[in-house]
């Protein structure tokens, strides 16, 4: 009859050394006098092993917590015979309650007293239901969740939240009336502090809320005015300087190490960057648009301005722009001009010496570097007049690099002009003026009497507006 006790929940006291075990009876072996429990708990803590087997000689006391038919039994060993009925259970260990003679079908089962042991209560609360199934199933993970969180769920959590009822409690008119009252007390600004606290004025999204020193818009002062002033997009005043001061500035810069080669490279980079923007920038120069490469005609003379233009053409050619360089054949040329021509020849750009070899159809951009600051007699040369006529008849826009001052009327009307360092007083035919940073240090400006703070910010080429 040992099979009658399978599935019962019992508590086994093995003395002070082994402690107390609780679990579900899985087997009772009459021959070996052993009993096995599955999902055992040891002193209230779940055992890491799924099953534990006990010998009768180790058991000091056995209590039945629950039997398969749902009748709970728990009693002390007082008044219970110590010799069980072998014909009933076949187990000779010391037992109490229904583990004695009579078995589960006894006509007079022992009633369960309300004061069960603390261990018995702990096990009955923490032990999962039979077969690990609870609340409709769920498997091992569900069993672990039940062991962790228990059965004491708040029934109120199953009630749906009444959003409409909660929203009805919000009095929108009263809240907005309170906000308007607070704003009137704060003279138009929303008050977020105490009622008597003075609130700051409102700020736009593009205004700085931190108090700062007033901006000084005239940060560049020159000893000699060029007769014209410009301003940047941010309002900084950039005065023009006469050509004599500009020439002295470049001479001092070269003495400090800013050589002509460095200035040529810097000018070429900045001018080519501006030209690339005028040609369309990323909208035009893309790998998918290789069949429509922009074409630029570069008109240069035998001087430093011509060398600056060739440097610009070299950088444009390196950026996959089709560059056609016009430079007449001269018996003697500057060394810097010769060096720039040699580098330009490595890019694959086209060089011509006759106007007849220039494109007959309009190009995307004409870069004018024909003029010189000092030698005005070049304008009387046939090649100069022919190149100027071609540029004026070609319907492409013109960019002039480092054009001369307004005293010398320009033969080619430009749409944009690029000045270096500080602007010269250019004529109206120069078009819109841009300023290029060629890397002149502040100490060099100070040495020629110019109080200088850079107006460029994060850029190397900035537009200038007539003040």
Tens digits of per-residue pLDDT, 402-415?
A: 998 866 667 899 99
Residue 2 has pLDDT above 50, yes or no: yes
pTM value?
Answer: 0.56
- 80 falls in which pLDDT band (50, 70, 90)? very low
pLDDT in the model for residue 133? 45
300's CB contacts (< 8 A; 6+ apart) are 306, 307, 309, 310, 325, 326, 327, 369, 370
Segment 179-183 long-range contacts (CB within 8 Å, at least 24 positions apart): none
Instruction: Specify burial of residue 198 (Cβ count, 10 A radius: 0-12, 13-18, 19+).
Output: exposed
| Single residue among 125, 149, 173 that ends a domain in this structure | 149
- 70 falls in which pLDDT band (50, 70, 90)? low
Closest CA to 357 of 400, 379, 325: 325
pLDDT, tens digit, for every residue of 16-35?
888 999 999 998 888 888 99
Residue 155 has pLDDT above 80, yes or no: no
- For residue 214, tell me if it sits in a domain: no
Q: What is the mean pLDDT of residues 432-442?
A: 96
- For residue 174, tell me if it sits in a domain: no
pLDDT, tens digit, for every residue of 280-318?
988 888 888 777 889 999 999 999 999 999 999 999 999
Please count the CA atoms within 13 angstroms of the CA of 335 that sit on its side-chain side. 2
- For residue 180, tell me if it sits in a domain: no
pLDDT cut 90: percent of the chain above it? 46
| Single residue among 149, 173, 195 that ends a domain in this structure | 149
Are residues 136 and 251 located together in one domain of the fold?
A: no
Which CATH number does the domain housing residue 377 bear?
3.40.50.10260
pLDDT in the model for residue 282? 86
Are residues 130 and 248 located together in one domain of the fold?
A: no
- For residue 242, tell me if it sits in a domain: yes
b/e for 380-419, b at 16 or more Cβ within 10 A? eeebbebbbebbeebebebbbbbbbbbebebbbbbebbbb
Are residues 133 and 234 located together in one domain of the fold?
A: no
Residue 250 has pLDDT above 50, yes or no: yes
Distances from the Cα of 174 to the Cα of 118, 168, 170, 171, 178, angstroms? 58, 13, 9, 6, 6
Rounded Cα gap, residues 372 and 376, in angstroms: 7
Are residues 132 and 236 located together in one domain of the fold?
A: no
- For residue 428, tell me if it sits in a domain: yes
Instruction: Specify burial of residue 38 (Cβ count, 10 A radius: 0-12, 13-18, 19+).
Output: middle
| Single residue among 123, 149, 175 that ends a domain in this structure | 149
Q: 402: phi > 0 → left, psi -120 to 50 → alpha, else beta; which?
A: left
Token pair belonging to 392: 């004026």
Are residues 135 and 240 located together in one domain of the fold?
A: no
Instruction: Specify burial of residue 327 (Cβ count, 10 A radius: 0-12, 13-18, 19+).
Output: buried
The number of folded domains in the chain is: 2
pLDDT, tens digit, for every residue of 179-228?
888 777 765 554 444 444 445 566 777 776 676 677 788 999 999 888 89
User: Domain range holding 347?
Assistant: 229-284+292-466
**What are the residues facing 23 on neighbouring strands?**
10
Helix then strand count (H, E) for the chain reads 11, 17
Least confident of 160-169, 218-227, 233-242, 359-368: 160-169
Residue with more model confidence, 428 or 120: 428
Rounded Cα gap, residues 451 and 263, in angstroms: 21
Residue 114 has pLDDT above 70, yes or no: no
Residue 355 has pLDDT above 80, yes or no: yes
Rounded Cα gap, residues 35 and 17, in angstroms: 19
- For residue 48, tell me if it sits in a domain: yes
Residue 462 has pLDDT above 90, yes or no: yes
Q: What is the mean pLDDT of residues 168-176?
A: 83
Rounded Cα gap, residues 138 and 360, in angstroms: 85
Residue 123 has pLDDT above 50, yes or no: no
Token pair belonging to 195: 């009622």
**What are the residues facing 295 on neighbouring strands?**
322
Residue with more model confidence, 126 or 294: 294
Are residues 245 and 106 located together in one domain of the fold?
A: no
Which CATH number does the domain housing residue 112 bear?
2.30.30.100
Are residues 264 and 390 located together in one domain of the fold?
A: yes
Looking at every residue in the chain, the average pLDDT score rounds to 80
pLDDT in the model for residue 162? 80
- For residue 309, tell me if it sits in a domain: yes
Are residues 234 and 362 located together in one domain of the fold?
A: yes
- 128 falls in which pLDDT band (50, 70, 90)? very low
Residue 458 has pLDDT above 90, yes or no: yes
Are residues 108 and 246 located together in one domain of the fold?
A: no
Are residues 144 and 241 located together in one domain of the fold?
A: no
- 110 falls in which pLDDT band (50, 70, 90)? very low
Q: What is the mean pLDDT of residues 110-130?
A: 37
pLDDT in the model for residue 356? 94
Contact 364, 295 (CB under 8 A): yes
């Amino acid at each position: 009859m040992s099979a009658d006790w399978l599935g019962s929940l019992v508590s086994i006291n093995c003395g002070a050394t082994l402690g107390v075990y609780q679990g579900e009876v899985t087997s009772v072996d009459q021959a070996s006098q052993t009993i096995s429990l599955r999902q055992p708990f040891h002193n209230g803590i779940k055992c890491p092993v799924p099953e534990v087997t006990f010998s009768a000689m180790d058991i000091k006391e056995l209590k039945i917590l629950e039997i398969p038919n749902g009748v709970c039994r728990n009693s002390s060993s007082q008044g219970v015979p110590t010799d069980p009925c072998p014909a009933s259970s076949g187990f000779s260990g010391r037992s109490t309650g229904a583990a004695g003679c009579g078995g589960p079908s006894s006509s007079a089962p022992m009633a369960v007293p309300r004061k069960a042991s603390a261990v018995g209560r702990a096990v009955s609360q923490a032990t999962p239901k039979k077969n690990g199934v609870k609340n409709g199933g769920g498997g091992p993970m569900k069993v672990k969740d039940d062991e962790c969180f228990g059965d004491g769920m708040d029934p109120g959590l199953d009630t749906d939240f009444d959003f409409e009822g909660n929203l009805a409690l919000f009095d929108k008119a009263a809240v907005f009336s309170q906000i308007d009252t607070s704003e009137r007390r704060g003279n138009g600004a929303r008050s977020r502090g105490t009622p008597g606290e003075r609130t700051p004025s409102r700020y736009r999204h593009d205004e700085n809320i931190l108090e700062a020193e007033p901006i000084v818009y005239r940060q560049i002062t020159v000893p000699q005015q060029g007769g014209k002033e410009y301003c940047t997009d941010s309002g900084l005043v950039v005065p023009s300087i006469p050509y004599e001061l500009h020439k002295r500035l470049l001479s001092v810069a070269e003495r400090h190490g800013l050589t002509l080669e460095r200035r040529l490279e810097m000018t070429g980079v900045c001018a080519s960057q501006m030209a690339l923007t005028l040609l369309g920038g990323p909208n035009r120069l893309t790998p998918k648009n290789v069949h429509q490469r922009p074409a630029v005609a570069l008109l240069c003379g035998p001087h430093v301005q011509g060398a600056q233009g060739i440097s610009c053409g070299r950088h444009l050619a390196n950026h996959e722009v089709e560059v056609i360089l016009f430079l007449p054949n001269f018996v003697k040329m500057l060394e810097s001009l010769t060096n720039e021509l040699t580098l330009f020849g490595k890019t694959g750009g086209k060089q011509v010496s006759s106007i007849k070899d220039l494109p007959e159809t309009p190009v995307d951009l004409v870069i004018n570097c024909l003029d010189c600051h000092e030698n005005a007699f070049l304008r009387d040369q046939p090649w100069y007049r022919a190149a100027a006529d071609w540029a004026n008849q070609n319907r492409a826009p013109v960019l002039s690099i480092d054009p001369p001052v307004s005293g010398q009327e320009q033969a080619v009307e430009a749409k944009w002009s690029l000045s270096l360092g500080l602007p010269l007083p250019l004529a109206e035919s120069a078009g819109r003026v841009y300023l290029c940073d060629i890397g002149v240090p502040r100490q060099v400006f100070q040495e020629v009497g110019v109080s200088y703070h850079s107006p460029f910010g994060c850029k190397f080429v900035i537009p200038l507006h007539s003040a």
